[in-house]
Chains A and B, each alone.
Chain A
Amino acid sequence: MANPTVILLFIFAVRCRGISMWPQPRTMSWPVHSATPLSPSFAISSPYHRYLSVAANRYLKLIKTENYHPLVPQKVNLTNGPSLQTLIITVNNLAAPLTHGVNESYSLSIPMSGNRATLIAETAWGAMRGLETFRQLVWGKPRRVAAGVEVVDWPIYAYRGVMLDTSRNYYDVKDILRTIGAMSANKFNVFHWHITDAESFPVVLPSEPDLAAKGSYGSEFQYSPADISRIIEYGLQHGVRVLPEINAPAHTGSWAGAYPEIVTCSNMFWWPAGSNWADRLASQPGTGHLNPLNPKTYQVMKNVIDDVTEMFPDSFYHAGADEIIPGCWKADPLVQSYLAKNGTLSQLLELFVKSTLPYILSQNRTVVYWEDILLDSNIKVRSSLLPTEHVILHTWGNGPNNTKKVVSSGYRTIVSSSDFYFLDCGHGSFLGNNSQYDQPPFADQGKGGSWCSPFKTWQMIYNYDIAYNLTEEEAKLVLGGEAVLWSELADPEVLDPRLWPRASALAEVLWSGNRDEMGKKRYAAATDRLNEWRYRMVGRGVRAEPIQPRWCINNPGMCNTVHPFT
């Protein structure tokens, strides 16, 4: 009996019981675990800035009301020094707008003695990152703040995103705002809003009001211009860009309510009985592609682009362009005669891109497309039509192989590999009348009906390296990564648990990486921090999933495995 016990003590003694941060800062020194009381009159002083000032006020209020008690009591020494009275924020460049690549670095210093902490940032956005870090260093009631702390912090990747699909199912504005708030707490900086798709068109566009009027799920399932500006403003106050996506020319069945004449194959059954998969009209229920041969298509597209770029100030515009399905275009008589004259479907797509891309660029935007536009096996455009200085490709298929293809062709890329970052995977299929589930017992349940199964656990997300197998030069073109929630099987009832804390795993990987100073993957240490962070998020009103029994947190190390996986 004696021997094993000794070994166990040894294993469990290594753990550090300091306050945990998420995402872990790049460099943080807290040599002696001291803490000082936070003065009841604690204040944050910040230079005036339209968004930072709002954020500073918000953080002050949150710090004074949060009441977070770590699940594992903190082993800290209370200093004899004065209580902390102020956090002084200094920003070098108050004019820097929130845009891709903006400097998000900050340094935070909370002295052991002295009543002032300082937060210095290059930009207002970096200061917001530092405010979150500061907030995570405050706990308890009466409130304590870690003291003798120096943090110098900046992100590895400039693009750190979460995508939400509001077309398959609708989300209320408050759900989106709550998500943006949680993103900011995780130091995410891009909310990629997949607004429209075949199923519904929820955004009300002033120049094309019928698209929502006839394409949304109903008047209570729409985003008004006022909703949009509220969301964008909220994003700015949280340092989160709002990147709109209007997916076209596929995934546009919902446009047919307003403009049946510009949508091919609309309102048809997606995969007609007796036909091959290659002859499907859409990859899932909800058919319809914009018709590149109808001049009206471009008139509508221009109005949409005008409105969207007016409503969304972000310098990126996501134009979709994934999953063009041959059968849908081929259902159209105009297209049929075009093909009969030796035209190709790829030429049709090129026509569409040539007629829309320059218009988006003319609005001073960088365009993001899904990778399909270049890599699709059937219908794609030549890379000469996609100038690398203006186009970013968003990868989702085939893991690191497609990332490699895209960057080695000279494109900047955002990585949303479905093998790692698709948060909807692993919950089966939504198709009706599906006999695959009616199997005798002991039939292999396979992937449980989900095409991208299994469920992407936080650990899978955490361990994935988006620059895998790239040269140093290629890796520079990887702007960052994005976790994606498609909403066939999600809506407001499950939004929080689908996103959190799995997106938090991505947030840390993209901010400070998944390795410790020795270069070792730090998933073991991350478990305990993520547990604390998950509970802290729940306390802040985000219904994040639990990742372990509470017992594991109360008994550090006891839920580990010491058997390497083989």
Chain B
Amino acid sequence: MASPFVVFLLMFAVPCSAIGVWPQPRYMSWPVHWATSLSPSFTITSPRHPYLSPAVARYLQLIKTEAYYPLTDLTVNLTNGPPLQALIVTVKDLAAPLSHGVNESYSLSIPTSSDKATLSAETAWGAMRGLETFSQLIWGKPSRVAAGVEVSDWPIYAYRGIMLDTSRNFYEVEDILRTIGAMSANKLNVFHWHITDAQSFPIVLPSEPDLAAKGSYGSGMQYSPANISRIVEYGLQHGVRILPEIDAPAHTGSWAGAHPEIVTCANMFWSPSGSAPLAAEPGTGHLNPLNPKTYQVVNNVVDDVTKMFPDPFYHGGADEINPGCWETDPLIQAYLAKNGTLSQLLEMFINSTLSYILSHNRTAVYWEDVLLGANVKVEASLLPPEHVILQTWNNGPNNTKKLVSSGYRTIVSSSDFYYLDCGHGDFIGNDSQYDQPPFTDQGNGGSWCGPFKTWQIIYNHDIAYNLTEEESKLVLGGEVALWSEQADPQVLDARIWPRASALAEALWSGNKDETGKKRYAQATDRLIEWRNRMVRRGIRAEPIQPLWCIKNPGMCNL
């Protein structure tokens, strides 16, 4: 009995019950675990900035009210120094706008023997990242703050996103704001809003009001221009860009309420018996590239969306073009009969709409299908790499490699790793696959992209896998995606958090420690704390372990 105990003690002595920060900063030094008390009159001073100033006010409020108690007792020494009176924020370039690649670096210094901490950043957006780090170094009531801390921090990847699909099911504005707030706390910086799809068109566009009037789930399930500007403004105050996606030409069944004449195969059964399916899932309809009216409507949409969303990126969708859907249309049938091809049709659509998007001073993002589609795709020459970014979702790192080796910048949302909806079965009705005798292999439980992507699967994935150094420079970052066939506000938080937190750290400071070893083991304890802290902040994140595990460090390891 004696010798195993010795071994155990040795194993359990390692966990460090210091305060955790999520995502782990690139560089953080806290050689002696000192803490000082936070003065009741603690304040934050910062230069005036339309978005940083509200962020400072918000963090001050959070810091004074959060009273977070870590799940494990912190072993810290209280300094004899004065309580911390102020955090002084300085910003070098107050004019830098929130856009791709903006400098997000900051350095934070909390001395042991002074009543002032300092946060200096190149931009207002970097200062927001530093404010979050500072807030995570405070706990307890009365509040304590870690002292003798030096943080120097900046992200690995410039694009760190979450995609939310608000078409399959509707989310309230408050759900979106809560998500943006939680993103900011995780140092994620792009909310990719998959606004429309075949199922509903929830955004009210002033030039095309009928799209929402006749394509949304109802008047209570629309985003007004006022809602949009509130969301964009909230994003700016949190350092989170709002990247709008209006998916076209496929996934546009919801446009047919307003403009039936521009949508092929609308309102048809998606997978008729005895013939090829008309859509990848229920909800048919593609914009018709041969109808001039299509471009009139798309141009109005692009006008309105670029006006409402200031972000320099515009996501044009262009995934999952279904041959059968276009082939139902008589105009297209005639076009094909004259030796035209479906790929030419898509090229026609892209040619016309891409140049219009670019004319609004936007970089266009498309799903990879536009270039890599098996049946219907466009020539690379039509997609200038200086103006087009491709978002990859299929075939793991292989497609990433294909895109970057073709010279495209890419955003990685590999469905094998980053699709948060996977692993919850299928939503198709009348599905006999579930009516099987016992002992039948249940496979992936009917989910095309099962299993469920655990936080560990997400954390361990390396988005630059198998790329040369040059190629990996074209990887802008990554994005977890929540498709909403089986999600809505009731499960939003639990589907996204803390799994998106795993992505946030992998993209901010990486999944490896200083020695190059994957740090999933020690990340577990920090993530439990962080999950708990998010819950206290009002995010209904999933638990990742029994509470017993954090109370008994190391005992739940493998």
**Does A associate with B in a complex?**
yes
Q: Which residues of chain B are near A489, meaning CB under 8 Å?
A: 542-545
Give per-residue flags for A541-561: 1 if the beta carbon is below 8 A from chain B beta carbons, else 0.
Answer: 001111111111011011111
Instruction: Determine whether the beta carbon of A549 is less than 8 Å from that of B427.
Output: yes
Residue among B465, B548, B554 making CB contact with A168, cutoff 8 Å: B548
Is A384 at the interface (CB under 8 A from chain B)? no
**A488 interface contact, C-beta 8 A:** yes
Q: Is the CB of B433 within 8 A of A565?
A: yes
- Segment from A23-31, A121-129, A369-377, A458-466 that makes contact with B: A458-466
A:269-300 near B, CB below 8 Å: 269-273, 285-286
B79 within 8 A of A: no
Q: For residue A519, which residues in chain B have a CB less than 8 angstroms away from its CB?
A: none
Docked pose: A497 CA to B491 CA in angstroms: 7
How far is B431's CA from A152's CA once the two chains are assembled, in angstroms?
30
B217 at the interface (CB under 8 A from A): yes
What residues on A are CB-neighbors of B199 within 8 Å? 549-551
Whether A285 and B548, one on each chain, are in contact in the complex, defined by CB atoms closer than 8 angstroms, is: yes
For A487, the chain B residues whose CB sits under 8 A away are 546
Task: Given A200-B547, A448-B450, A545-B491, answer yes or no on A552-B269 (Cβ-Cβ < 8 Å).
Answer: no
A435-480 at interface with B (beta carbon < 8 Å):
435, 437-442, 445-450, 453-460, 462-464, 468-469
Chain B 432-455, CB-CB to A under 8 Å as 1, else 0, gives: 111111110011111100111111
Closest to A462 in B: B434
Q: Does A65 lie at the interface of the complex (its beta carbon under 8 Å from any beta carbon of B)?
A: no
Q: Which residue of A lies closest to B275 (CB)?
A: A4
- Tell whether B261 is near chain A: CB-to-CB under 8 Å: no
Q: Decide: A562 and B169 in contact? CB cutoff 8 A.
A: no
CA gap between A458 and B429 in the complex, in Å: 12
B547 to chain A: which residues have CB within 8 Å?
A: 168-170, 199-200, 217, 221, 491
- Residues in A neighbouring B283, C-beta threshold 8 A: 549, 551, 558
Closest beta carbon of chain B to A542's beta carbon, Å: 9
A18 at the interface (CB under 8 A from B): no
- Residue of A454, A462, A491, A494 near B447 (CB, 8 A) is A454
What is the CB-to-nearest-CB distance from B529 to chain A, in angstroms, rounded to a whole number? 13
> Is A426 within 8 A of B430, CB to CB?
no
Are A432 and B486 touching (Cβ within 8 A)?
A: no
Identify which of residues 243-276 in chain B touch chain A, using a CB-to-CB cut-off of 8 Å.
268-273, 275
| Candidates B8, B454, B548; contact of A429 at CB < 8 Å | B454
CB of A431 within 8 A of CB of B558, answer: yes
Which residue of the partner chain B has the closest CB to A440?
B465
Q: Which residue of A has the minimal Cβ distance to B553?
A: A432
- Separation of A466 and B431 alpha carbons in the complex (Å): 20
Do B450 and A454 touch (CB < 8 A)?
yes
A5 and B524 CA atoms in complex are apart in Å by 55
The interface-forming segment of B111-119, B148-156, B418-426 is B418-426
Contact residues in B for A168 (Cβ distance below 8 Å): 546-548
With A7-B272, A454-B444, A523-B434 already in contact, the answer to whether A428 and B456 are too (CB < 8 A) is yes
**A279 → B minimal CB distance (Å):** 11
Please judge, given known A-B contacts A269-B8, A285-B555, whether A493 and B427 are in contact too, CB under 8 Å.
Answer: no
CA distance A449 to B455 in the complex (A): 11
Which residues of chain A (289-328) have a CB below 8 Å from chain B? none
Task: For chain B, residues 532 to 558, give those with C-beta under 8 angstroms from any C-beta of chain A.
Answer: 535, 540-549, 551-552, 554-558
Is A331 in the interface zone, CB < 8 Å from B? yes
Chain B positions 120-171 with a Cβ under 8 Å from a chain A Cβ:
168-170
Q: B430 touches which one: A445, A456, A462, A560 (CB < 8 A)?
A: A560
Measured CA separation A199–B537 after assembly (Å): 26
Chain A residues near B452 (CB-CB < 8 A) = 426-428, 448, 450, 453, 455
A285-B549, A441-B416, A548-B427 in contact; A11/B269 too (CB < 8 A)?
A: yes
Residues of chain A within 8 A (CB-CB) of B273 are 7, 562-563
Query: Secondary structure at chain B's binding surface: helix, strand, loop or mixed?
Result: loop
Chain A contacts of B170 at CB under 8 A? 550
B53 part of interface (Cβ distance < 8 Å):
no
The listed residue (B271, B541, B545, B558) touching A271 by CB distance below 8 A is: B558
Task: State how many angstroms separate the Cβ of B428 from the closest Cβ of chain A.
Answer: 5
Residues of A within 8 A of B545 (CB): 430, 432, 488-489
- Which residues of the other chain, B, contact A481 by a CB distance below 8 angstroms? none
CB of B328, distance to nearest CB on chain A (Å): 7
B74 at the interface (CB under 8 A from A): no
B374 contacts across to A, CB distance below 8 A: none
Specify which chain A residues have a CB less than 8 angstroms from the CB of B320 in the assembled complex. Answer: none
Q: A457-B445, A523-B434, A545-B491 are in contact. Are A269 and B456 (CB under 8 A)?
A: no
Option from B432, B465, B485, B556 in Cβ contact (under 8 Å) with A548 = B485
Say yes or no: is A268 at the interface (Cβ < 8 Å to chain B).
yes
Q: Is B78 an interface residue (CB 8 A)?
A: no
B200 within 8 A of A: yes
Partner of A453, one of B169, B445, B558: B445
State whether A562 touches B428 (Cβ < 8 A).
no
Q: Is the CB of B558 within 8 A of A434?
A: yes
B309 at the interface (CB under 8 A from A): no
Q: Mark B459-483, 1 if CB is under 8 A from A, else 0.
A: 1110001100000000000000000
Once the chains bind, are A547 and B416 in contact (CB under 8 Å)? no
Q: Does B213 contact A (CB under 8 A)?
A: no
- Determine if A450 and B451 form an interchain contact, defined as CB atoms under 8 angstroms apart: yes
B490-A543 in contact (CB<8A): yes
B494 at the interface (CB under 8 A from A): yes
Contacts of B323 in A (CB 8 A): none
Residues of B within 8 A of A249 (CB): none
With A217-B551, A546-B169 known as contacts, the answer to whether A331 contacts B1 (CB < 8 A) is yes
Please indicate the chain A residues that have their CB under 8 angstroms from the CB of B556 in the complex.
270, 285, 430-432
CA distance A169 to B217 in the complex (A): 38
Contacts A548-B429, A558-B270; A449 near B491 (Cβ below 8 A): no
Q: Is the CB of B425 within 8 A of A494?
A: no
A431-B556, A546-B487, A550-B169 known; A8 and B543 CB under 8 Å? Answer: no
B83 interface residue (CB < 8 Å to A): no
A169 close to B416 (CB less than 8 A):
no
- Return the chain A residue nearest B458 by Cβ: A437
CA distance A468 to B436 in the complex (A): 12
Which chain B residues lie closer than 8 Å to A440 at the CB level?
Answer: 465
CB contacts (< 8 Å) of A169 on chain B: these are 543, 546-547
Interface flag for A482 (CB, 8 Å): no
CA distance A11 to B270 in the complex (A): 13
Do A552 and B429 have beta carbons less than 8 Å apart?
Answer: yes
B396, B451, B493: residue with the most chain A Cβ atoms closer than 10 Å: B451
Could you tell me if B424 and A445 are in contact, using CB atoms closer than 8 angstroms?
A: no
Q: Report Cα–Cα, A538/B424, bound state, in Å.
A: 19
A184 at the interface (CB under 8 A from B): no
Tell me the nearest residue of chain B to A445, going by C-beta.
B451
* Closest residue of B by beta carbon distance from A487: B546
Q: Is B102 in contact with chain A by the CB < 8 A criterion?
A: no
From residue 323 to 350 of chain A, which have CB atoms closer than 8 A to chain B?
A: 331
**Residue on B with the closest CB to A271?**
B558
Q: Give the residue among B270, B444, B487 with the most A Cβ atoms within 10 A.
A: B444
Chain B minimum-CB-distance residue to A437: B456
Choose one: B426, B436, B451, B543; the contact of A463 (CB below 8 Å). Answer: B436
Q: Is the CB of A268 within 8 A of B486?
A: no
**B282 partner, pick from A217, A269, A558, beta carbons under 8 A:** A558
Residues of B261-298 contacting chain A, CB below 8 A: 268-273, 275, 282-283
Contacts A448-B423, A457-B425, A463-B436 given: A437-B282 contact, CB under 8 Å?
no
Q: Would you list 20 pairs from A and B whose C-beta atoms are within 8 A, ordered by A residue?
A: A4-B268, A198-B548, A199-B546, A200-B548, A217-B547, A271-B558, A428-B452, A432-B525, A432-B554, A434-B558, A448-B457, A450-B451, A454-B443, A463-B434, A493-B542, A523-B435, A524-B430, A548-B427, A548-B429, A561-B431
- Nearest first, the 7 closest Cβ-Cβ pairs linking A and B are A448-B451, A454-B445, A457-B425, A428-B454, A437-B456, A459-B434, A565-B433
Known interface pairs A441-B396, A468-B437; 15 further A-B residue pairs with C-beta atoms within 8 A, sorted by A's residue number: A270-B555, A285-B556, A426-B451, A428-B452, A428-B456, A434-B557, A437-B457, A442-B396, A459-B431, A491-B543, A547-B427, A547-B486, A549-B427, A550-B217, A557-B269
